[in-house]
Structure 1
Amino acid sequence: MEQDQEQEQTADGGRAYRKIDRIRAADQILEDLRDRILRGELPHGSRFPPDRDLAERYGVSVATVREAVRALAALGLVRVRHGSGSFVTVRTETLIAVSMASAIQLESAPVTDVMDILGVVNSHAAGLTARHATDEQIAALRTCAEGLADLDDLDRAMDGLRDFLRRLAEPCGNPVLAAICVFLGEVQVELARELSQRGLLPLRRVAGALQQDRIAVVDALEARDPERAVRVTRAYHVHALDLLTSVPEAREVRCSDPSYTGLISSLMRTKLASLTR
């Protein structure tokens, strides 16, 4: 057993690359490289091994390795930069974004379902934020909420809403939960932008109608009352959903709508592109 373990180590003490069976070789390479990335053996930002080196290590053709690397890129784990090689781009928020965006597309989830999920996860995050956020973080959230009281400019309104949702979730102390909230918040913001541009969602009326809900969320956080924070955050999202579904045309927007499909695809591209910054 000890001999087998020694054979699995490289000269520098790392885990050796195993030889790959010819059948489904690219899939096996994909699985092995994915495991190495998620274990941290190939950390975020590091240069990915060249295709020829991997081909030699696995005992396969360069074409087979490239097929596996393309799959890794599609998963958001590797970024191929033409002329400068490939780099590892693994981040929790990106893995979640790609997975959730794909699930939304696959299930043709309506806007209302996406917003309802955001309400559930954000409510839980708010309860944790009431416990873990610093006074400075809560103060910044209040400033953000107060800035959303009366906005006529669409871009400013969307940036403010995005900032509010991010600041509500990020201090929760659970990075995975925060990443889910941030991604779904991005979807909600971009959907609101799309509906506003179509004339289906009156920006000024909606911003004003939800203002007291946002302030109630901040008040609960300042009071360090987790149960109240969960309750008022859920009420905020229910109110937002009620406003959305009061417009019949907005209620029917689904993934089959070209603009919604394009939105999800655009968010996925943006998440992947942000990894190289």
Structure 2
Amino acid sequence: MEENPDGSRAYLKIDRVRVADQILEDLRVRILRGELPHGSRFPPDRDLAARYGVSVATVREAVRALASQGLVRVRHGSGSIVTVRTETLIAVSLASAIQLEASSVTDVMDILGVVNSHAAGLAARHATDEELASLREAAERLASIEDLDRAMQDLRSFLRLLSGLCGNPVLAAICSFLGQLQVELAMELSQRQMLPLREVAGALHNDRILVVEALEARDPERAEQATRAYHDHALELLTSSPGTQQIRLSDPSYTRLISSLMSTKLVSLTR
């Protein structure tokens, strides 16, 4: 690997074959190695074109590909920003797989139940007392649901905290993305009057408390079982209404709904 006199990694000398792909890969590696960290300003197209010895149009092709992978957010007129985060990368991969397979809500939530159960088992071993106290506070805020929008924010917070307690960043990112998708799906169905969201969220309160109690007991097996029971109950409630059954059985409609939710979620993650 060639280096500059200051020790930094030298930009590649690009062959004329598949130029944009080579630039894409070189920039992707730089981002994932931390040379271009999350939140930093991405080098201007003209600067990159000069460094690689190619046209601005070729650089822009590579940058568009980086943006589609969730690594860069292109802001016309004010420069692009690096948006590399584990959750973003996992979201892009999971979104692509779910859309490709036209996965049902049952498929998605079953995966969430499996990974969150495993994460809960790890959390019972590794979470601090302070983290568990924060999780209990988040769960108890959902005991009484008066403002539905506020309750959904509290639910997002509970799921985010629950997924983050396992001590495994990759597993936490998978749990977090799927959990947030579950909330978005429930809200979308509620807005279409296909799901009594207030009743569903309230009915799951005891399940959330049982998860917290198992974690506080530092019992991995109990935590896994309680978390799986929570997700099974959520799935039962989410798919029990006639409206939800109808959309679940109508593949084209459900596929469009999932695709729309995925696109919205990915845009929010790369901001």
What is the TM-score when the length of structure 2 is the normalising length?
A: 0.92
- Read off the aligned partner of 1:271 and give its amino acid letter: L
SS in structure 1 at match of 2:194: coil
Task: Sort the Cα spacing of 1:11 and 1:256 in 2 relative to 1 into closer, same or farther, 3 A.
Answer: farther
Q: Give the corresponding residue for 1:140.
A: 134
For residue 27 of structure 1, report the CA deviation from its aligned partner. 0.8
Indicate which of 233, 241, 260 corresponds to 2:227.
Answer: 233
| In structure 2, distance between residues paired with 1:204 and 1:56 | 57
- Read off the aligned partner of 2:167 and give its amino acid letter: G
Indicate which of 263, 267, 270 corresponds to 1:269.
Answer: 267
SS in structure 2 at match of 1:85: coil
1:186 to 2:184 alignment: no
Q: Is the 8 A contact 1:109 1:255 kept in 2?
A: no
More divergent stretch after superposition (117-126 vs 38-47): 38-47
- How many residue pairs get aligned? The number is 267
Q: Structure 2 matches for 1:104-143, cutoff 5 A?
A: 104-143=98-137
For residue 152 of structure 1, report the CA deviation from its aligned partner. 4.0
Q: What is the Cα-based RMSD across aligned positions, in Å?
A: 1.8
- Read off the aligned partner of 2:233 and give its amino acid letter: H
| In structure 2, distance between residues paired with 1:113 and 1:255 | 16
For residue 76 of structure 1, report the CA deviation from its aligned partner. 1.4
1:222 to 2:216 alignment: yes
- Give unmatched runs, 5+ long, in structure 2: none
- Read off the aligned partner of 1:61 and give its amino acid letter: S
Q: Give the corresponding residue for 1:213.
A: 207
Q: Is the 8 A contact 2:148 2:198 kept in 1?
A: no
SS in structure 2 at match of 1:64: helix
Aligned-pair identity in percent equals 73
Q: Give the corresponding residue for 1:99.
A: 93
| In structure 1, distance between residues paired with 2:201 and 2:54 | 58
Q: Give CA-to-partner distance per residue, 1:240-262, whole Å, 9 cap, x none.
A: 11122222431443574344322
Q: Give the corresponding residue for 1:73.
A: 67
- Read off the aligned partner of 1:99 and give its amino acid letter: S
- Give unmatched runs, 5+ long, in structure 1: none
SS in structure 2 at match of 1:246: coil
Q: Give the corresponding residue for 1:87.
A: 81
Q: Give the corresponding residue for 1:198.
A: 192
Task: Sort the Cα spacing of 1:149 and 1:58 in 2 relative to 1 into closer, same or farther, 3 A.
Answer: same
SS in structure 2 at match of 1:63: helix
| In structure 1, distance between residues paired with 2:268 and 2:197 | 25
Q: Is the 8 A contact 1:210 1:240 kept in 2?
A: yes
Which 4+ residue blocks in structure 1 deviate beyond 4 angstroms?
none
For residue 220 of structure 1, report the CA deviation from its aligned partner. 0.4
- Read off the aligned partner of 1:266 and give its amino acid letter: T
